[in-house]
Amino acid sequence: MKKYPFVLVMLMLLGCGEDAATPKPRAFLSLNYPEAKYEPTNLNCPYNFEINTLAEIKASRNNIPCWIDLEYNELNGTIFITYQPINNNLDSLLADAQKLPLQHTIKADAIEGDVYTNKVQDVYGMFYEVSGDAASQAQFYLTDSVNHFVTASAYFRAKPNYDSIIPAADYLKKDMKHIIETFRWED
């Protein structure tokens, strides 16, 4: 019986070493992307804009003329841009473009829309910011209200987890706003 207290004391002394696990504080992913540098596009389409040099222009997987994908490999994301000529269907194009952000209301915490108007360049539209675990964090549409209609959506090749993708989502939102501000119709 005298052996048991000795063994118990030895176990306690060995178990109280400096190797004990300590809980780590919560940390958030810190991603730093290069400062955006922009250059004009020459798309051979009825529109052009300035693009971030980090993005690569690719033809859309749908092989529809003037539908392009802006691939951001470093961010694991893409801005999908579609173009449609207006043929007495502006109302339906607007309805579809305004309905698209609403498809994310199930997962979104908030959807905010900002009107964009550039009378000098004849460019009008809406920019939507989506926060939360939605599939797309930003979308916009642009039109001249007579001949041309463009939509764009940002998506990531990852399961939507807003806390994890927020740095990349903010980067793409900034680029999308730059696209809108430098957008020109080529007639």
* pLDDT, mean of residues 172-184: 95
pLDDT in tens, 79-129: 999 999 999 999 999 998 877 655 544 555 566 788 999 999 999 999 988
| Structural domain contains residue 36 | no
Domain span holding position 116: 44-185
pLDDT at 32: 74
| Structural domain contains residue 122 | yes
| Structural domain contains residue 33 | no
pLDDT in tens, 22-34: 665 555 555 678 8
| Structural domain contains residue 12 | no
pLDDT band at 187 (very low <50, low <70, confident <90, very high): confident
| Structural domain contains residue 21 | no
Q: What is the CATH number of the domain that holds 58?
A: 3.40.1000
pLDDT above 70: percentage of residues in the chain: 71
| Structural domain contains residue 7 | no
Outline where DSSP puts E strands in the chain.
38-40, 47-48, 50-52, 56-59, 68-72, 77-85, 108-118, 123-132, 136-143, 148-156, 184-185
| Structural domain contains residue 60 | yes
| Structural domain contains residue 24 | no
Domain total of the chain? 1
